[in-house]
Structures are given as C-alpha cells and as structure tokens.
Amino acid sequence: MDVSRIGVQNTYTAALKMTAKRDRNNVPENNGPQTNANADVEVDISAEARKKSMELKEYGTNTPLKYDEAFFSQEAREQRKTELGKSLSQTVEIDPFDNEFQILGVSYTFNNGTLEKFISDGLEGKAKNASLVASELAQMIRGTVYNPNATVEERAANRETALRNVESIVQEYFDNPDEAKAFLDGINRFAENDILREKGYTVIDNSDIAPFRSYTLATDGSVSWSEYAKKYGKSDVREIFANPKELEAFVKAISGNSQKWNAEIVKSFEDNEKKVADIISKAKESLNESVVANSLQRLLKAF
C-alpha cells in the first residue's frame, strides 16, 4: 500500500468525521427522510475534494501525493469491511494460563467471604498469580452459580476435578499441616454448599442461616405460596395476587388441598434430591483421570 495515499486518506477521514459529527448534531426538521442521530454516517469524498487531494504535496517536498481512485470506490470499501469482519470472526481467545502477561500482570480483587477470596488468600505467596487460580477453581467448584446451563453431571465432574486439583496443590505447596487442613476444609465447605444447591436447597454461604429446602417459606418447613401457585396452575404467584377474585379462589384451593399438595411437593423434592446424589456419585466414580491431570497442569502454569 502507498504510504502517501494513507496520509491523504487520514487527512480527509478526519475532516469528514468532524463534518459528520456536526451534521448529526444539527439535523434539520421536516426536510425529507432523516437518519438517527446516533446511527453510523455513510460519507464519501466529493469530486472537488478528490481534485484538491491531487494538489497536495508530500510533507517537506514539492512531490505531488499519489492518489488511487480505486481506493475510494464503493467496491473497495465493501471489500475492506468484509476483510475486517472476517478477521474479527477468526479471533481466538487466548487462555489466561497460556498468557504470560495475564499471569504476571493481571490480578483480581474479590469480596470478603467469597470462595475466590478464601482461595486467593490461601495461595498468596505460593502462586505467581493466586487470584487467577482462585477464579478458575471457584468457577469449577460453584457450578450451580457460574454454570447453571450445564447438566448436573457436567457440574459434578468439574467440581470433583477442581477438588482433586486442590488436593494436589496442597500436597505440593503447603508445608504446614494445620494450614493445609484449614485450606482444604474451607474449600470443601463451599463445595458441599454447592452440592446442596444442586439438590434444591437454598444456601447462603458464610451466614448463620442454615440451608433449607427451596420450597419452604423459611426454615420451619412451611410450603411457600409460590409452590402452591404451581400446584394451582400458575407459574408466577404475582399473577394471582394481582387479581382479588383469583386470590380468593387460590386461598380456598389451598385450604382444601394443602395436605395433598404438601405431600406431593415434599416427595418431588426428595425424589430429585436422591436423583442428584446418584448422578454426583456416578460422576465421581467415572472421573476421567487424564482430564484431571490436564486441568492440574494448566493451573500449575500460574505457580
């Protein structure tokens, strides 16, 4: 590409952008079709401007700048757009564990009480980037939060892989047995809470509130109105509360069916809890050892 031609392009592009911006801020009223003020503005170089460009000289010389008519054509513009789009679509995201800049120069700040903060603090001084390792492990361990669209089996495999990785890291980098035990125990608590969430419990990490079944109003075990609404045939209890007559009929339905509905809700929960427990158990037994090893080697790049 002719460098002098680029200079012409940049000069006129800058001028045209200023003109386009000014035009967008002063759109006339009732003057034919209008474009959105925030929309992209399609501009072209007029014949007069092109003629003027022929008179420009290279900086510090009397040599005329070269002008390529084809460069400004509609076909050339479309070609450049196509090539740019193709280039962007082929961009490959670099794994942060393969990126030396990410490992040495980028760190995350976590809120107190989070699993990420717990892991990061525990690995401080042991890893080159403790926060990067903490972020990766936390996402694998707390799959119900970070990966809700995956299957129970997929989340279980990720969780178990992460826990196995943690055990290997502790063996390699923790010299103090008490420190190692405290670190493992803390991570396992978060993992157990995630398994409870998988089974349908409401769990609030690092709180005094004990895990409770998600169908309940509170820890007393009473069934929530949202669960009764599902039995009543409504997916959203707010639909019922918005209609006084509907609400009255709903209350009567609960009064006449509460014992039957309660039994069905409890049984459904317990059946699902057992099903999830079986899936998690099978996922642990069938864990792919090569996957675990590869995952560990990836994490160790940050140590």
Q: Which two tokens stand for residue 163?
A: 């826990």
Q: Are residues 54 and 110 in the same domain?
A: no
Give per-residue pLDDT as tens, 26-47. Answer: 444 444 444 444 444 455 666 6
User: pLDDT value at position 218?
Assistant: 72
Q: Answer whether residue 154 is part of any domain.
A: yes
Counting the structural domains of the chain, the total is 2
Q: Answer whether residue 31 is part of any domain.
A: no
Whether 82 shows a pLDDT value over 80: the answer reads no
Q: What span, in angstroms and rounded, lies between the C-alpha atoms of 102 and 105?
A: 5
Q: Say which residue the tokens 């158990």 belong to.
A: 281
Q: Answer whether residue 17 is part of any domain.
A: yes
For 291, phi then psi, to 5°, come to -65, -45
Q: Are residues 200 and 287 in the same domain?
A: yes
Side chain identity, residue 245: K
Let me know: does 129 contact 140? Beta carbons within 8 Å: no
User: pLDDT value at position 70?
Assistant: 65
Whether 7 shows a pLDDT value over 70: the answer reads no
User: pLDDT value at position 71?
Assistant: 64
Q: What span, in angstroms and rounded, lies between the C-alpha atoms of 28 and 25?
A: 9
Q: Are residues 189 and 292 in the same domain?
A: yes
Q: Are residues 83 and 154 in the same domain?
A: no
Q: Answer whether residue 240 is part of any domain.
A: yes
Return mean pLDDT, the chain: 82
Q: Are residues 171 and 215 in the same domain?
A: yes
Q: What span, in angstroms and rounded, lies between the C-alpha atoms of 250 and 225?
A: 10
Q: Which two tokens stand for residue 202?
A: 């409401």
Let me know: does 155 contact 147? Beta carbons within 8 Å: yes
For 268, phi then psi, to 5°, come to -60, -40
Let me know: does 110 contact 117? Beta carbons within 8 Å: yes
* pTM beyond 0.95, yes or no: no
Q: Are residues 53 and 161 in the same domain?
A: no
User: pLDDT value at position 171?
Assistant: 96
Q: Answer whether residue 223 is part of any domain.
A: yes
Query: Considering only CA atoms, which of 260, 262, 252, 256 is closest in space to residue 223?
Result: 262
User: pLDDT value at position 217?
Assistant: 77
- Strand segments, DSSP code E, in 63-204 are 201-202
Q: Are residues 150 and 14 in the same domain?
A: no
Q: Are residues 144 and 261 in the same domain?
A: yes
Q: Answer whether residue 283 is part of any domain.
A: yes
Domain end among 65, 89, 113:
89
Whether 8 shows a pLDDT value over 90: the answer reads no
Q: Which domain holds residue 67?
A: 3-26+36-89
Q: Answer whether residue 159 is part of any domain.
A: yes
Q: Are residues 110 and 47 in the same domain?
A: no
For the ranges 65-69, 91-95, 205-209, 244-248, the maximum mean pLDDT occurs at: 244-248
Whether 186 shows a pLDDT value over 50: the answer reads yes
Query: Considering only CA atoms, which of 265, 288, 282 is closest in space to residue 156?
Result: 282
Domain end among 44, 63, 89:
89
Query: Considering only CA atoms, which of 124, 147, 164, 167 is closest in space to residue 287?
Result: 164
Q: Are residues 43 and 132 in the same domain?
A: no
Let me know: does 303 contact 126? Beta carbons within 8 Å: yes
Q: Are residues 256 and 296 in the same domain?
A: yes
Q: Say which residue the tokens 């670190």 belong to.
A: 183
Whether 166 shows a pLDDT value over 80: the answer reads yes
Give per-residue pLDDT as tens, 94-113. Answer: 888 988 888 888 899 999 99
Please give the C-alpha separations between residue 25 and each of 21, 32, 35, 39, 77, in angstroms, as whole numbers.
6, 17, 11, 12, 26
Q: Answer whether residue 255 is part of any domain.
A: yes
